[in-house]
Structures are given as structure tokens and as C-alpha cells.
Structure 1
């Protein structure tokens, strides 16, 4: 009983001691924070210092991962390393209004054939330099005002950056970094690590495959934005800010007047010629791609359906096609040497009898009746001399009641032969006709001569005597009346 009372007394005393200790700590905490005297409080233990450091690091890491988008970033701060890696923060899409003129809704970027892919290994923020630092385009790109060739290098040199970043690029083999953070190599060169020395990732912008004179445009007060868009609103400038041909036509397709000057719309004004190998025509094939006209230009985009559309484009302006193609390119198909399979639709096998009857001349412009057509028809049994047993399943002619029985009606073979005999002879020879029409009683004995045939037989004999010789001997007396 004494022990249990003592235990209760000890518990109460311990609780009171903890209460007073906590109250004292709460009262001394603000006083210590206000006075800042370390002597007013007991020194913290090692464990408490480690916990405070961990908490501070966690808070700092959280603020670094989620920076305040509304607060202006100092270009020398650690958060600036996230800027300049893409055109827009967070690699967002560039608004259409900031792209170069001519970038419509269906824009797919500049042509790879004209502007080969680039390798950008520099982190750069145009918006900071132009907007915050008030630098003009010519400050970093001074050669753009005097360049007269598209092969000129117009990107800033290392020495251009030295005046602001405190670096020294006078000797490329021994570059001296700056003292400040924005003068360190890894501040601009992506992938650079301490100890790499002067070795940085290669920065490569291939020369464009076109003719261009920056000086002529600058002398006419054509601003950078008219060709490159609103670069001052972006961070990293990429290929998407290179000119679009549709935007070039804003000036180059003006009517022929003094206001247009020398801004001709002819292809050779901007595009390279291929030399004598292709007759001085525009070069279209490059290692980076094949240059083809867009859809908006004369409806001439070379899509899979262009083989059906090209006749209208060529008829409207054959000289436009002649910028890239010589006549032998067209003749290769039009004289039958090349037979592109895409001329006919996929179900053309079922449809071709109709077109073959309506316009045989179009078929024979590419196909030979006695070889191409006859070979297929004999193989499938849709000819008079095809394999037996399959002729009915591959009927080529209408039923017998229409094709050969009397009386003659629409679709009768006599009318079809008179309308287009070439269609008949693509499968048949004259002897096939003699089986029924033999004038000497062969077969059914149908006389191929009409009642007034003797009046025009001389013309027929002189034009083509071979059908006559099927039934008559060359020296037969019957020819005397025709001769």
C-alpha cells in the first residue's frame, strides 16, 4: 500500500516536472529568437542539428522542384539551369502567332531537304537577353547584316559572349571560364562536366540548301521577325523558327512592279540548280531529304493520289513542272516504257471491261492487246480459245441470245465489231470469224458480205487484203471484180 501510494506520488511529480520544463522552453523560445543570444538557451544536441539540416534540405529541394512561375528568375540563379533548354518553358508548344510567317494550321515545320536537322548543344534564353537585357539581334548576330551567302556562319562566336559572361574564348584550345556562375562552361554547354577541359559537345547547324542574301533583305529594312518569327518571346530558338516558303511569297509573289523590285518568284531565285546533269533544272534530292512542292502550290504536292491529279497540274502550267522534270520523265510513262501500278484503283480488275469497251485507245497507250490482254484472258478462260470447262465461269461476251442470235439488238456482236473492231482482234483472228461467216459454206454459212458489198470491195481489198485471203485464194477470179 505504501509502495502504491509512493508510485502514484512519483507519477504526479514526474508529470509536473515535464509540464514546467515544456512551459519554460516555450517561454524561452521567443525570447531567444528575439534577442539572438546563444547563451540564453542550452546548446542543441547533435541529433537536433541533424534533424534541422534534413528539414531545411527537404524544404529547399521542394522549392527547387516547384519554382514560382510568377517570380522573375535571376539568370545566375540555380533555377536558370531549367531555362533555355527548349523554346517554351516545360517544352510547351510554341504559339502559332510566334512562328515565322506562313506557318498555317497544317504547318509541319521547315523542309528537311532545305534545312537539314540541327544538333543544338547550347542552352540559351532569347527572351532573357532581348527582353531583360535589351540586346538587339545584331549584338549577337552581327554578320547577319552583311552576309551574302547562305553558307555563312551567323551563330554567335564564343568571343561574342565574353564581354558579358567574363569568359575568354580568344584561344579555342584554352578557354578561360568566368568567375561568376554564368561564366562556367556547364552554364551554357549542355552535358559538360568538370574535368572535361575544353571538350564540349559539338554544335552543328548545317548550311541550308538554298540561295539567300541576308544583306539584300536587311538593306530593304526587312526585320528579323518577318522571316524568323517572334524569337524574342522564346527561350531556345530551333529549326521551327526558320523561314517558310509560304511566308517568303508574301514579298516574292507581288505583282511585277517597282514595289517588288528583284524579289522574283521564279524557283531559281532561292533554290539550287542541279547543273548540266539534269539540264540545269532545280535540284530536288539532298542527303537530308527530297524537295517536293507543297499542296498549296498549284495543288502539286506529290501525294499518293498525285498520279491522278498531275494531268490537271501539268495542263494548267507545264512550265511549273519543267522546273524539276525534263520531258523524258513524262515520256517514260506516257509511251508505255514505265507502267506505274497505281494508275488503276484496287478494284480495277472488275471495272476494266467497261473502260476497255468505251475507250480502247487509252488502254493501248500502255498495253499491247495481243500480249498483255490476250495472255490474261486465255489464262482465265475468258476467250474463245481458252481452256475448256472454265469459259462459262469467265464469260467475256453477253449471253448467246444477245450476242449472236437473231434478231440483232443492242449488244449484238455485229454492232460491236462495226463499232470497234480492234477490240475483237485483240483476242480473235480472222479465221475465228470464218467459222460462222465463211463465204464458201464453212460452218454455218453466214455470208460476211452485205448486198452492196461489191461496190466497195476494191477499197477494202487495197486497204487490207488479209481478211479476204482467209476465204479466197489470192489468184481467185472473184478478185477481178474488186480490182
Structure 2
């Protein structure tokens, strides 16, 4: 234990000796007792200088010793690792040197008007504070920002996730069922990477149980967007329902549609969206205008 303490102090002292935080180890890990929560009253740029003008994700924005020295003395840090007499919990910081060089802090701060904690949340907790790809995609989607790969990644950069190994094709369905939103970040519908590029024609794998034809309507009402993952066009539903004469119950009632109108108008006034789910597909089913435009 004593040897470990001596080594930790030695590493920490050597980090300060060069005038800035040295990167210790091949993975860039730096032993440093630190709590963001104790620095909550400070502006982020007080320690992470230059972040507002940073235009590359590879920029080293870890604090310089000169920034720490405004509050801390080398003796306090090397001997006790304390500030203002309070012992702090140890935490290992990691400098991510291979972060995308395309990323620009300046653009996100000046143009998007983002605060630091928008991306680096929960700073009072001893965990990694870097945003995940899902966080970036959600923000880009909500702000209608380009989501193409080249927006954040360099040409030729390896983008395949680590779990996409040689057996991934055999087990990817389980992951997609658990969280298809993660898949859709890359496998966007309508591109060469979407599900239909493999699951089409004779290659379609039916994910439904037997007799699903008799119960699929309930699932469609509860979560029609999941049906749309494969069955993208309403004509798919309409073709089958028309051929099998499967219609809503009120469509068979006498007087629902007559030469002079009928009771379908009342149903349309009550729930027009339900009508339009079928009667809004060109060249497949008659629309309102077919009769009402005459």
C-alpha cells in the first residue's frame, strides 16, 4: 500500500514538473485525485482553456498546471492531494487522443449555442462524461442537422462497432429487437445499408409466430411504426385487406355508402385519420375526391 502511494505521488509530481499534465501510460491515463463537483462554481473554460476555439476533436483540452496553480500549490497536490483541507476521491482521467478530428467545439458553442453540460452531463459523478453517439444523433435529429457519417467521421475511417464481428450476421436480430434505434443510426431506411438490402424477396426472414395473421391487427394499432420497419407502404396492408375483403365492421352496415352519401360521413367527421390510413393511397383505393369532387 505504501509503495502504491509513493508511486502515485511520484507520477502526479512528474505530471506537474513539465508545466502541464503529462500523459502517463500508453493509453493516456493520468492518475489524478479530482472531483468536478468541488469545482462546480467555476466556469469550465477556467480549467479547459481554449475549448471555445477548438476546431479538432484531437485537441488536448486537459487543464494545464498553470490553471490549477491559481488555486492549488504543488506541495498540497503532491503531498496530500487535497484542496482546502478536504480529502478527495481518486479518479482516473483519460485523454482520448483518437477522438474524431472533424469534431469542432467552437462550432457547437458559437453556432449551436450549446452549454458544456449539454454534452458533458452529470459532472458531479465519477464516470466518463463524454457523450455517446446516440446522444449526438438525438441532438442532430431534433435540430435537423446533417446526420451523414462524413459529418463527424473522416473518409476511410473504420466505423464498424466492435461487436460487429464475423458472427454478427447470425445474431444481429437479437440486438435489433432489443434496441433498433441504435441500429437505425447507421442503417437508415432507403440506403444501401438498410434492412431491406438483405431481407428482401426470398431472403425475407419471417419474425412472426404462427397464426400471426389473425392477431397482427392488434399489434399494428398499438405500434404501427414497428410494422413500418419492414412494411413501409400502406399499399402492403391495403392489397391484402382488399383481396381478402377484410374491412372495418361499419363498412358492411347498410347505408354506410349510398349514392346520396350514407353514414360514412359521420364516421369521417369523428375519426378522419382512420379513414385516411387507407383512403389516401393513389391508384389503390378510392379517395374522398373520387366521389365528392363530382
Short-chain TM bin: 0.3 to 0.5
Give the TM-score taking structure 2 as reference length.
0.42
